[in-house]
Structure 1
Amino acid sequence: MNLFTEPREIELRGYQEDAVERLRDGIRGGCRRQILVAPTGAGKTVMAMHLVKESQRKGARSWFIVDRVALIDQTSDSFADYGIDHGIIQAQHFLTAPEKKTQIASAQTLARRSINDLPDLIIVDEAHCRYKSVRDLVEKLQNAKVIGLTATPFTPGMADDWDGLVNSATVNQLLKMKALAPLKIKACVTPDMQGVKTTRFGEYDEEETGARGTRIIGDVVKTWVQQTRQHFGRPVKTIVFSPSVKHGEELCRQFADAGFNFQQISYLDVSDDDRRAKIAEFRKPDSAIDGLVSCAVLTKGFDVPDVLCGISCRPYRKSFSSHIQEMGRVMRISPGKEFGLWLDHSGNSVSFADDTAWLFEYGVDSLSDAQKRDSEVREPSEQKKATHFCGECGMKMEPRSDVCQACGWERPKRGEIQVVQGELIDLEISTKGAFQPRQGLRAECLNDPRGVWNAALAFCLSNSRKGEEAARRWAYGIWSGVYPGSKLPRGFFDAPCAHDQVQPDQWGLVEREVKRFRKTGRRKAA
């Protein structure tokens, strides 16, 4: 912040005011540890700073804990912009001031030192990281109010860390408000991951993944040059997510050979000052750096809104949260930014297509269900690709349309799917695209697959004579008939039924499906 400018006022949007008030309701209701779930770009830090200012006004002590030292300066700059006086808990930092009521610290620093002036309010950024030092601090300070911030509360064990959950706006709501930039997603050439060994956490081994990815680096550079010129008319500020340091080094080398300045940021950086200098240069509107290559460093919390392009080179088997965090780096709004371009060389956009559509539409219901999202192996498939895009020109298909509006290509009937190798595709990130109803169904309620499931469950619980388990299996059969080829997201099969939320058109659809099935059954029996 320029020391000679007036600090900015914190002006909360409507959904932010509502989220803050629900946090206060939770505190009044006895919830000491609450998690605030909000998509990247929804303003979690702004909401947190509002709470910190309120804490300062009351004379209370507050700590804002970031998940890594690299984010200390970025957070401090944000606090300074809004006139929040603060100190920083970090060795030899020029803003060290333990006497101040508000402190910014990293989880790593807290693990290494003992501090006497403990806070009344703790705000934990990227709360899904679950650092032991932070959990120990929260357990120790039984009288402190704790608020965790995250866009992806999918880490196993999170349900044990928090007493309550507050959901702010969903991604699709923020897109409609123009508070986020939409993504144009291109699924590109991806490495063959067959036979790659996995870690004890179920993810691909980093070095082996990097070796596989190195074979297609030429395609990564070529595709970036081609696509940024096509969509923006020029090379644009870009962030790349790399599986290993070696892979990142080779990427930087080949981009340099093509005449572009890409710099790697990794956990092996020898100097914090060098890393700070790279990031500071990258933040400039006229930066000399075309792109930053990140190896497990810039996945979370990194905020450079005018990044127009993201490149995914790190395949994930389970980590849906990492995929969502990475895409979020390109969805922040900036003056003149109409959309972000996402070049997927990992296959993650295909693997997690249905989960992404569901999250963007509905957000998170509960921590116990959310943590299941990172526990299931997903892999890209040609069938899933064919659901989302044109097999001829690679353009996005309209939801429930069998004809491409761009080139007139007609989707083959089931069993006749054609695959065009090596072409770029546009993925549809919406429940309309991911959960396509059976051909011939046109009811408006089909746009809400979650509502259709709830209606099917309500119908079957009301009409089954064989108990709840049989009713749920019956409901799943109905829902699968409406959305053939789609899978009910984790947690919904066992979720409670909201009978009072069933709409007449949803109930009517379920009744017609039951009659159709019974009529078909009688025909087969005859």
Structure 2
Amino acid sequence: MMNFIPPKELTLRGYQADAIEALRSGIRSGVTRQILCAGTGAGKTVCAAHLLREADRKGSYALFLVDRVALVNQTSQTLDDYGIRHGIVQGINERWAPFENVQVCSVQTLARRSLPRDPDLIIYDECHCQYKHTLEYMARYPRAIKIGLTATPFASGMGKHWDGMVNVRSSRLLITDGHLIEPTIYVAKSPDDAELGINKLGEFSDRSASDAGIKIVGDVVAEWIKKTHEHFGGPAKTIVFSPTVAHGRELCDAFAAAGYNFQQVSYEDKSDEERASKIDEFKKPDSLIHGLVSCGVLTKGFDVPDTLIGISCKPYRKSLSSHMQEIGRVMRSHPGKSKALWLDHSGNIERFALDMFDVWENGAGDLSHAEKRDTIARKREAQTREQVVCRECGGVMRGPLCMACGWERPVRSGIVAVDGEMRAFDLGRMAIEARPGLRAECLKRPRSVWDAAVNYCIEHSRGQDCAHHGDPTTHSMNIRPAIPRPSDHPFQPHPTRLI
């Protein structure tokens, strides 16, 4: 007989409860298509589980849409943990139960399957993906409330399908609260941009990235060995992002030659079961797999919180969202986890660091601004590299401080030193060497300029520095014989107190 495990209590953090209330406020004002924007670790799935539980309690029909089989299973497990009854709409699944109030749906299966009721609530996970058939499906039910979940609402055109956005909490605050680990980032050897071709979408082509990346596979392995021993004393659980299956295969072979077990998961896997078995093994605390090499399958929604190292080998030209989704895979907190590393062999840090740090600090902003972030082609520039890459260790700077070695960039004073010749000031040469363009008549009589200056200082001095102070008859060449004239010697400070 199996032991009964009571469901976990579903308790929202304060900022999550605030976000839910903001969504409800929008719905009450007639905004029925809203994005819930929250970075890795903010608890999007927990917020979604709360909404689904409330829908079930009210008898509403609610759909949770995902685009990966792994995410179907992951979401279903989360709902089971909280005791939320649900069915699964995905292939031939033993949990097909369409009359349950809550359904976890693969978007691919949903497009070709009928359900017994029209949905009252549709939650679309990773809504920045914008699958055409999913958007068309949601449009068929205009009366349904739609909630999109994403950490990166940066895809062009999102404003056409969503009317508003609620930002949950910034990554910086999540790091401060201990819900996320800020990774220590190193900029390592990567292909030159000149080696990378551009596809019709304006991104770097996977084929060119693979061909260029294969040339530095040895550097990727060597850097990983060095950094794992330096920071963790040996191998640590790692995920690698690769542009193609061929490149991933080369990486696995190179790690194997060095004595480490790296396994590839990709869209070319022979079966979902094969991929799932590798992922299940990788999730074990004592896994026999040192690392997973992902080609297009673990970028988003993949949660193995005890992963300590991420390696970026797939370069992006525009997609800030893909870069941030990848680096988010190593940022989740876990008991005993105090550090995470990100090794950049793609050049993405040099292209995206400033945008990424802005989002970490300030959130995604409003939707009209956010949806343009994936449309801009970034370049690797010397000025950006100087801002974000530590000249001492190759780590990444946050402001003036390197997050890897602690080196601090010297503060610039703003004073520019120019080599020159120091010489005495000679008023007698003033008329000759006056700045070109000055035409005042007084410059032809330098002695009168000197006298005028002395008289002005005396008139505006405090006290009775001159016995004749205030007497207009003293305003002459004989006013203070002790004051040296220009012809006497070069200028030197005089003890007369001047204000």
Specify the alignment match of 1:61 in structure 2. 61
- Structure 1 residue aligned with 2:218: 218
Q: Which residue of 2 aligns with 1:377?
A: 377
1:371-427 Cα offsets, whole Å, 9 max, x none, are: 21111111222332222343234455573479x98568x7597xxxxxxxxxxxxxx
What is the rounded CA distance, in whole Å, between the counterparts of 2:343 and 2:4 in structure 1?
41
2:72 aligned residue = 72
| Residue 298 of structure 2: aligned partner | 298
Give me the whole-angstrom Cα distance separating, in 2, the residues matched to 1:73 and 1:39.
21
Q: Is the 8 A contact 2:401 2:407 kept in 1?
A: no
**C-alpha displacement at 1:136, in angstroms?**
1.4
Structure-1 separation of matches of 2:69 and 2:398? 44
Matching of residues 206-245 of structure 1 within 5 Å? 206-245=206-245
What are the Cα deviations for residues 197-222 of structure 1, in whole angstroms up to 9, with x where unaligned?
A: 21111111111210100000001011
Q: Secondary structure at the match of 2:122?
A: strand
Q: Please state if 1:310 is matched with 2:279.
A: no
Partner of 1:175: 175
Bigger mean CA deviation after superposition, 334-343 or 391-400: 391-400
Spell out, residue by residue over 1:323-359, the C-alpha distance to the aligned partner (whole angstroms, 9 max, x if none). 0100111111100111210000001111111111111
* 1:163 equivalent in alignment to 2:133: no
Q: What is the deviation of 1:55?
A: 0.7
Structure 2 residue aligned with 1:98:
98
CA pair 227-162 structure 1, distance change in 2 beyond 3 A: same
1:140 corresponds to:
140
Which residue does 2:8 correspond to in 1? 8
Aligned to 1:123: 123
SS of 2:114's equivalent in the other structure is: coil
| Helix, strand or coil at the partner of 1:34 | strand
Report the counterpart of residue 347 of structure 2 in structure 1: 347
Q: 1:117 to 1:224 in 2, by over 3 A?
A: same
Distance 1:393 1:237 in 2: 23
Q: Does 1:368 align with 2:364?
A: no
1:247 is the counterpart of 2:247: yes
8 A contact 2:187–2:396 mirrored in 1: no
Inter-CA distance 194–121: structure 2 relative to 1 (3 Å threshold)? same
Query: Contact between 1:8 and 1:81, CA under 8 Å: does it hold in 2?
Result: yes
Alpha-carbon spacing, 1:69–1:118, altered in 2? closer, same or farther (3 Å): farther
Which protein is bigger by CA-based radius of gyration? 2
**Paired position in structure 2 for 1:258:** 258
Aligned position for 2:458: none
The letter of the residue matching 2:217 is I
Please, what TM-score do these two structures have when normalized by structure 2?
0.79
**CA distance 1:210–1:396, change in 2 (3 Å):** closer
Residue 392 of structure 1 aligns to which amino acid in structure 2? E
Contact 1:67–1:106 (8 Å) recurs in 2: yes
Q: Percent identity?
A: 51
Do 1:37 and 1:150's aligned partners in 2 also have CA atoms closer than 8 Å? yes
For residues 319 and 267 of structure 1, what CA distance do their matches in structure 2 show?
20
Amino acid at match of 1:147: I
- When residues 392 and 4 of structure 1 are mapped into structure 2, their CA distance, relative to the original with a 3 A threshold, is same
8 Å CA contact 1:193, 1:209 repeated in 2: no
Name the aligned partner's letter for residue 227 of structure 2. Answer: Q
After superposition, the Cα gap between the structure-2 partners of 1:148 and 1:273, relative to the gap in structure 1 and judged at 3 Å, is same
Q: Which amino acid aligns with 2:344?
A: D
| 1:327 corresponds to 2:327 | yes
Aligned to 1:50: 50
Unaligned 5+ runs, structure 2? 416-499
State the AA in 2 paired with 1:229.
H
Moved more, 90-99 or 141-150: 90-99
1:207–1:244 Cα contact (<8 Å) kept? yes
Partner of 2:30 in structure 1?
30
Q: Which runs of 5+ in 1 are unaligned?
A: 414-437, 441-526
**Matched AA of 1:228:** T
- Relative distance call for 1:251 and 1:140 in structure 2 (3 A) is same
One-letter amino acid matched to 1:390: C
Q: In the superposition, relative to structure 1, how do residues 166 and 3 fare at CA in structure 2: closer, same or farther (>3 Å)? A: farther
Question: CA contact under 8 A between 1:182 and 1:338: conserved in structure 2?
Answer: no
**Alignment match, 2:277:** 277
Q: Residue 204 of structure 1 aligns to which amino acid in structure 2?
A: F
**What amino acid is aligned across from residue 16 of structure 1 in structure 2?**
Q
Question: AA paired with 2:381?
Answer: S
Give the RMSD, CA atoms, in angstroms.
2.0
| Cα deviation 1:66-90 (Å, max 9, x = unaligned) | 1222311111111111111111011
1:210–1:246 CA contact under 8 A, matched in 2: yes
**Alpha carbons of structure 1 residues 161 and 391: separation in structure 2 relative to 1, 3 Å:** same
Matched residue SS, 1:234: coil
SS of 1:240's equivalent in the other structure is: strand
1:249–1:195 distance in 2 versus 1, CA, 3 Å: closer
DSSP-derived class of the 1:352 partner: helix
Q: 1:214 to 1:202 in 2, by over 3 A?
A: same
Q: In structure 2, what residue type is equivalent to 1:54?
A: E
